[in-house]
Amino acid sequence: MEITLSADQELFRETTQRFLDDRSSIAAVRAFRYSPDGFERDYWRQGAELGWTSLVVPEELGGGSVSGHEVVDLTLVADAFGRRVAPGPLLPANAVAAALARSGSAQQQTEVLPGIIDGTIVPAWCVGAPTADGGTASGVTARADGDGVVLDGVQAPVESAVQADVLLVTCGMGDGVAQFLVAPDAPGVSITPLESLDLTRRYGRVELSGVRVPASTAVGVPGEAAADVERQLQLVLVMQLAESVGAAETVFDFTLEWAFDRYSFGRPLASYQEIKHRFADMKTWLEASHAIAAAAARSVQAEAADAAQTVSIAVAYVDEYVPELIQDCVQMHGGIGVTYEHDIHLYLRRATVNRVLHGTPADHRQRITTLQERVA
């Protein structure tokens, strides 16, 4: 997250934090463990009113940013989500909103986008992880069939697939990439809930078997959507980075407090040299993660030529060190740190899922190599 914020950004961040403190306490997060949805629709609609789903949508389409830097503004929400392991489909909602705002038809921007913005429509984005060739993996293919398109394949895991009111399906079409809006209850669509390590995030397996959709459901030009998909992926990744760094800082802070309050042989645990050294390492990782995540957000904001590479560099670093930082904090807590009653595992779950959902550090290191070779 950015260190220096404008007055409007500070107000936006504080408003989001206060709302989450009221509606998404740790007790509330724990209560969602057995909830089918993992969040309340009313809570999500109220969050949408605060601007969570409209920042990357232009004003003329019903959106608008806080500062004129919509991607950076969005990371403020993601950071708050990470600090409170908050529920809600923040990532897919903004990815799909961005897709429709950027390349959706007038009908899609009139009939679907407003519902996403006001929180009454929950979308899911069916897309695979980034691939070594700089694209994204897709288990779904599309083929033209008369005046429509037929979709076949499987995509998993898909966040909020079971809860979704609309699916944005990214698929291979010929030698290119296409995206289509698909109704979850359309003939041939089967969605199976998956077990999730995260207590509030829900994922599903989306299977499409001969699903026929009208050509009008295409988002952008079929076969030419690669640039749109890349932009959506970058947005999701910078949100994910901000969330993971926010979670890591929260864990670091309460672990440091614990180490000073906990006494061993008459001395604070934090006074021992080995513990000091480990905290120094973790602080270094944390500050570097803040800096590189902020740099990635600024690069995506500017739509820089090297934005994809910058984002993958950030993911490769943050998703390598944040889970290790939180694991170290678990060990600092001793036996209580591995109990369900302690809150630290909630953050570890979120960071662990983030680490693999849209490409592992190894995937992104390979992607960096490929993107660099293209520049050379």
- The CATH-assigned architecture of domain 123-217 is Beta Barrel (2.40)
302 alpha-carbon distance from chain centroid? 19
- The CATH-assigned architecture of domain 226-375 is Up-down Bundle (1.20)
For 16-48, write each residue's pLDDT tens digit: 999 999 999 999 999 999 999 999 999 999 999
The residue extents of the domains of the chain are 7-117, 123-217, 226-375
For 284-300, write each residue's pLDDT tens digit: 999 999 999 999 999 99
> Measured between alpha carbons, how far is 190 from 209 in angstroms, rounded to an integer?
8
Query: Does pLDDT of 129 surpass 90?
Result: no
pLDDT confidence of residue 2: 65
Under the banding of pLDDT at 50, 70 and 90, the label for residue 375 is low
pLDDT confidence of residue 136: 76
Residues in Cβ contact with 304 at an 8 Å cutoff, skipping those fewer than 6 apart = 310
- The CATH-assigned architecture of domain 7-117 is Orthogonal Bundle (1.10)
pLDDT confidence of residue 187: 97
Average pLDDT, the chain: 94
pLDDT confidence of residue 73: 97
Query: Does pLDDT of 190 surpass 80?
Result: yes
pLDDT confidence of residue 105: 98
Residue 320: closest CA among 354, 369, 278: 354
Please name every residue paired with 172 in a beta bridge, in sequence order, or none if there are none.
141, 177
Under the banding of pLDDT at 50, 70 and 90, the label for residue 264 is confident
Pick from 10-14, 131-135, 216-220, 327-331: least confident? 131-135
pLDDT confidence of residue 376: 59
With beta carbons less than 8 A apart as the criterion, state whether 48 and 117 touch.
yes
Side chain identity at residue 333, one-letter code? H
> Measured between alpha carbons, how far is 158 from 168 in angstroms, rounded to an integer?
11
Above pLDDT 70, what percent of the chain? Answer: 98
With beta carbons less than 8 A apart as the criterion, state whether 241 and 314 touch.
yes
Mean pLDDT on 333-361 = 95
pLDDT confidence of residue 53: 98
Count of alpha carbons within 13 angstroms of residue 304, beta-carbon side: 15
Query: Does pLDDT of 266 surpass 90?
Result: no
Q: Per residue, what are the HEC states of the chain?
A: CCCCCCHHHHHHHHHHHHHHHHHCCHHHHHHHHHCCCCCCHHHHHHHHHCCCCCCCCCHHHCCCCCCCCHHHHHHHHHHHHHHHCCCCCHHHHHHHHHHHHHHCCHHHHHHCHHHHHCCCCCEEEECCCECCCCCECCCEEEEEECCEEEEEEEEEEEECCCCCCEEEEEEEECCEEEEEEECCCCCCEEEEEECCCCCCCCEEEEEEEEEEEEHHHECCCCEECHHHHHHHHHHHHHHHHHHHHHHHHHHHHHHHHHHHHCEECCEEHHHCHHHHHHHHHHHHHHHHHHHHHHHHHHHHHCCCCCHHHHHHHHHHHHHHHHHHHHHHHHHHCHHHHHCCCCCHHHHHHHHHHHHHHCCCHHHHHHHHHHHHHHHC
pLDDT confidence of residue 14: 96
Q: Which residues of 303-340 are buried (b: 16+ CB within 10 A; e: fewer)?
A: eeeebbbbbbbbbbbbbbbbbebbbbbbebbeeebeee
